[in-house]
Structure 1
Amino acid sequence: MAAGGSYSIVEYFGGDDGYRCGYCKHENGNFSHGMWSHTMTVQDYQDLIDRGWRRSGKYVYKPVMNKTCCPQYTIRCHALNFHPSKTHKKTLKKVNRFLSKGEMPVEQHDEGHHEGEPMDSVHEEGVQPPPQDPLKIDHSEVQDISTSPDTDTTNSTAPTMPRDDAEKTTNVTPKPGKGVDPNRPLCRKAKDLRKERRLQKEQQKHQEAVSSTVNPAPSKSSSNQPKSLEEFITESLPNDPLHRLEVRLVRSNPPSPQFKASFDASYQVYKLYQMAIHKDPPDRPTESQFKRFLCDSPLEAETAPDGPDVGYGSFHQQYWLDGRIVAVGVLDILPSCVSSVYLYYHPEFSSLSLGTYSALREIAFTRQLQQQSPKLSYYYLGFYVHSCPKMHYKGQYRPSDLLCPETYTWLTIERCIPRLDISAYSRLNENARAGDARALKELGRVLVLHRRTVMPYAAYARKRKGSNDEKEVEQYASLVGQTCAERILLYRA
């Protein structure tokens, strides 16, 4: 449970069916476990990505590493120790020449960041959101009886969800004055509205801080020290450049006024990107698809005394060139990292290598946030796919680590590459005695949500005599680990 009293709530789907792979294009070789996250705290998601999970919209998935055609390893960069390579420096100089003099380089393919990376279309085709949302509940209405696995819930008087709301949906619109219209948004609690307004005010309050964060000033260094990333970003830019680039951070969930105002412009850039880079037909990059995968997020907006000024949660980092959006980085700001979700840009500027440029800006952004929140020191680039050469660029942001798919420990990429050269799937951790520190030990302590009541699985199993879901719950809990299994609520109908 988050500090504010909120739970993460998920529905688990398993991972038995194969889907089309976005990397090698195998029609049914991609296997992953998945769950629909109705809501999730940033700490729970941090712990999940440190166990190999990743989100696409509200769908959170974990590749079946020893079965999927293209094993996907979570990769993170040590932002504080990052030093740009020659290629990175060339990209920064290229962008700065364009900004200062208007020099547009000859068209070239950007191998830098998200180029050719699929937007998890496999999950769009294979997993649809639940046909109903039985979990639109106020946390204050949930009774928590999870303090002991031995709690008897047979005679519990906890508030229950009306059967009609929980088990069926309807498209019938009631007559005026005859009840709630299910086809219109639910009325929101006053305290939720107050919370959203407070977050928006905090975001506006820190707008100047954000501006300086995403447009870092060069730091002073002695002449015998190499230039920092921040110095390369602002190097050679005159006070009055020919083109002006502004980087804006806008919260996408809940959507801030700035996000709403720029939504249409951002969507148009996404549509052009998908058609030009990924060859999508004009009717495929729909607004609903854009919202579902790049705007919707289960992550709750959170703030903490030791957290960054902008707070935690999901954001869009927009690149405005001379007053128009030319690129957008979709980011999650979590307790220990900035996690890159996706990047799209206007094809007109593809020769500027905006993929590489945005990744470098995001690393600099992570370093700035770390000054406000000391433990936020990593930049996550999603998945590294060694069997797909187009994804090798992620390994060039060093120092970086890969996550062992069996022990969930981090190993330097230099140690991992030789093993991956031999086999696409590898344990990575060479210590045969090392194990999963958060492995499932007590199935009975897994938290479930049943009829608005939070209870341990042991109590639920007694209440639901004859229930045959033990194997499914055990699989889920082993994948999220004991710690998360005791915090996240697994929905049970």
Structure 2
Amino acid sequence: MASVVEYKGLKAGYYCGYCESREGKASCGMWAHSMTVQDYQDLIDRGWRRSGKYVYKPIMNQTCCPQYTIRCRSLHFQPSKSHKKVLKKMLKFLAKGEISKGNCEDEPMDSTMEDAVAGDFALMNKLDIKCDLKALSSDLKVSMESEEKKKEGAQELIHPEAIEEKLGSGEPSRSIKVHVGPQPGKGADLSKPPCRKAKEMRKERKRLKLMQQNSAGAFEGFQAQGQPVSLPKAKPNQPKSLEDLIFESLPENASHKLEVRVVRSSPPSPQFKATFQESYQVYKRYQMIIHKDPPDKPTVSQVRLVPASFEDPEFKSSFNQSFSLYAKYQMIVHQDSPIECGKSEFTRFLCNSPLEAEHSPNGPECGYGSFHQQYWLDGKIIAVGVIDILPYCVSSVYLYYDPDYSFLSLGVYSALREIAFTRQLHEKTSQLSYYYMGFYIHSCPKMRYKGQYRPSDLLCPETYIWVPIEQCLPSLDNSKYCRLNQDPQAEDEGRCKNLDRVRVFYKRSAMPFGVFKNQQDDPNEEPVVLEYANLVGQKCSERMLLFRN
């Protein structure tokens, strides 16, 4: 089984949805008739990305908004406070049907488990202080009564109520002249309980709690034998893992039930076919409401001549509609891949995939390839994450959801679920440990959110080496395009080194390019094949079949 691709070359000077430049985008692309998961893994590690069966690579030093491939090291991922908030919001909704007001950014962070523990200790401290205050008052009262009997006519006594009032008022302690310690020549009053520190009292409560948790029989047996009771050491406070936060148990009478199903989209499984229509309707609503796509494309009933200038109001008002028509033309005629809400576009963009379904004994149970991760709430689909499962990673392709459930921050929630899914796959397939999030676009503020999933790396566009994002941000603040690898001597080790070994598919036969060029008398073939081979790398160029006619 070999990948078969048709190289389309450079496309430059077309519309960019990130900065809305009409002529700023530049990329190279190829149509993938079929592709192995290993070839696609190697391609995305060189900055490529698929959209349906169209695979493209931004030309980073030419395009208006450089797009850096980003991956999260999922095994070391720790959810941030905002991530925890989204997960807790989902749990509250599932458990009690509670709907949080406002969006994720505007709402204050809910208290985490660590905050709750801190709150408990604060309450214990207050109780301990109050207990010690009463004990102090009692001891003072006994001591002063004894002193009064011994020294009649001495200075006026200060009542404990006044002492407690003084202590609570915040006045300096020197205004109360009392001696807490025992008098010389006299020991402590054994008839009274000793005064203890708050820390000791907390330890005592902890010991009592642990003893109650032990079985009564075992505890009494130790006591009867006169042996000391061995209490287990308390574990230090550990932050909850991502899985703990996602899969926290719900009450039996929970208001809602959420189920996540993974179904193969290419080739379509029976489960995918059975849910296609419902899934498409969610996509259609998402595109119409979130991305403002029209439900139906208008038909041409008349011809209007308008100046091609944004200064003209009629041209400006019809620009989006005109561009949608152009985008559809580019997709069908020139095999480009914009997003629209028609069923054919949905199928072409999010259902069709060049990736072959592959299985291996040590691989994931579901196999490798393209899948839809469906989120079922109370028996209906509310969101779908389109993903590829590859040898070393889970690659996120797209997410669409029912806008009625925007309050659940499904974009963030689905990303966290996909990270957890990557970690789950890693348990059986050890080399699969990364979560690829597509492109990070630092020059577009709304696309910087991907950098919040730490630790993460960006791919250097010149040497194709992964660099921690923290090291990249200072350079990206100064320039949209950067060579992220700081080693000036480093080179692209995967570039094409032997053009004759590039495999081509010609007249239904696979052959090395060295053999193919001897059968051709076209001087333009070699520059095109060399450009292709340098972009895909030597390894892929020797495995994939480049279609030539």
TM-score by structure 1 length? Answer: 0.75
The answer to whether the 8 A contact 1:29-1:69 is kept is yes
Q: Which residue of 2 aligns with 1:385?
A: 441
Q: Which residue of 2 aligns with 1:475?
A: 531
Displacement of 1:237 in angstroms is 2.3
Corresponding residue SS for 1:425: coil
Q: Which residue of 1 aligns with 2:381?
A: 325
Q: Which residue of 2 aligns with 1:492?
A: 548
**Do residues 457 (structure 1) and 470 (structure 2) align?**
no
Structure 2: distance between partners of 1:223 and 1:383: 39
Structure 2: distance between partners of 1:38 and 1:468: 24
Structure 1: distance between partners of 2:105 and 2:248: 22
Q: Which residue of 2 aligns with 1:408?
A: 464
Displacement of 1:469 in angstroms is 1.2
Task: List alignment gaps of at least 5 residues for structure 1.
Answer: 1-5, 112-220
Q: Which residue of 2 aligns with 1:56?
A: 51
Displacement of 1:381 in angstroms is 0.2
Aligned residues: 379
Distance 1:307-1:236 versus aligned 2 partners, 3 A rule: closer
Q: Which residue of 2 aligns with 1:210?
A: none
The answer to whether the 8 A contact 1:110-1:356 is kept is no
Match of 2:75 among 53, 72, 80: 80
Displacement of 1:453 in angstroms is 0.5
Q: Any idea what the Cα deviations from partners look like across 1:100-157, whole Å, max 9, x if unmatched? A: 001112243789xxxxxxxxxxxxxxxxxxxxxxxxxxxxxxxxxxxxxxxxxxxxxx
The answer to whether the 8 A contact 1:52-1:73 is kept is yes
Q: State the structure with more CA Rg.
A: 2
Match of 2:28 among 25, 33, 55: 33
Structure 2: distance between partners of 1:355 and 1:17: 31
Corresponding residue SS for 1:325: strand
Corresponding residue SS for 1:17: strand
**Do residues 252 (structure 1) and 265 (structure 2) align?**
yes
Displacement of 1:464 in angstroms is 1.4
Q: Describe how 1:236-275 pairs up with structure 2 within 5 A.
A: 237-275=250-288
Q: Any idea what the Cα deviations from partners look like across 1:76-102, whole Å, max 9, x if unmatched? A: 000000000000000000011000001
Structure 2: distance between partners of 1:404 and 1:371: 29
Displacement of 1:468 in angstroms is 2.2
Displacement of 1:465 in angstroms is 2.6
Q: Which residue of 2 aligns with 1:67?
A: 62
The answer to whether the 8 A contact 2:12-2:24 is kept is no
Q: Describe how 1:88-167 pairs up with structure 2 within 5 A.
A: 88-108=83-103
Task: List alignment gaps of at least 5 residues for structure 2.
Answer: 107-233, 297-339
Match of 2:349 among 293, 296, 311: 293
Displacement of 1:325 in angstroms is 0.2
Structure 2: distance between partners of 1:391 and 1:236: 33
Name the amino acid aligned to 2:398: Y
The answer to whether the 8 A contact 2:82-2:104 is kept is no
Structure 1: distance between partners of 2:12 and 2:474: 31
The answer to whether the 8 A contact 1:107-1:350 is kept is no
Name the amino acid aligned to 2:546: L
- Structure 1 moving runs of 4+ over 4 Å: none
Q: Which moved more, 1:464-473 or 1:240-249?
A: 464-473
Displacement of 1:239 in angstroms is 3.3
Identity %, equivalent residues: 65
Q: Describe how 1:189-200 pairs up with structure 2 within 5 A.
A: none
Q: Which residue of 1 aligns with 2:241?
A: 228
Match of 1:279 among 292, 295, 305: 292
Q: Any idea what the Cα deviations from partners look like across 1:413-470, whole Å, max 9, x if unmatched? A: 0000000000000001010001111111111110000011100001000011335211
Match of 2:359 among 303, 307, 312: 303
Structure 1: distance between partners of 2:471 and 2:540: 29
Match of 1:359 among 375, 396, 415: 415
TM-score by structure 2 length? Answer: 0.68
Corresponding residue SS for 2:262: strand
**Do residues 336 (structure 1) and 392 (structure 2) align?**
yes
Q: Which residue of 2 aligns with 1:9?
A: 4
**More helix, by proportion:** 2
Question: RMSD over aligned Cα, in angstroms?
Answer: 1.4
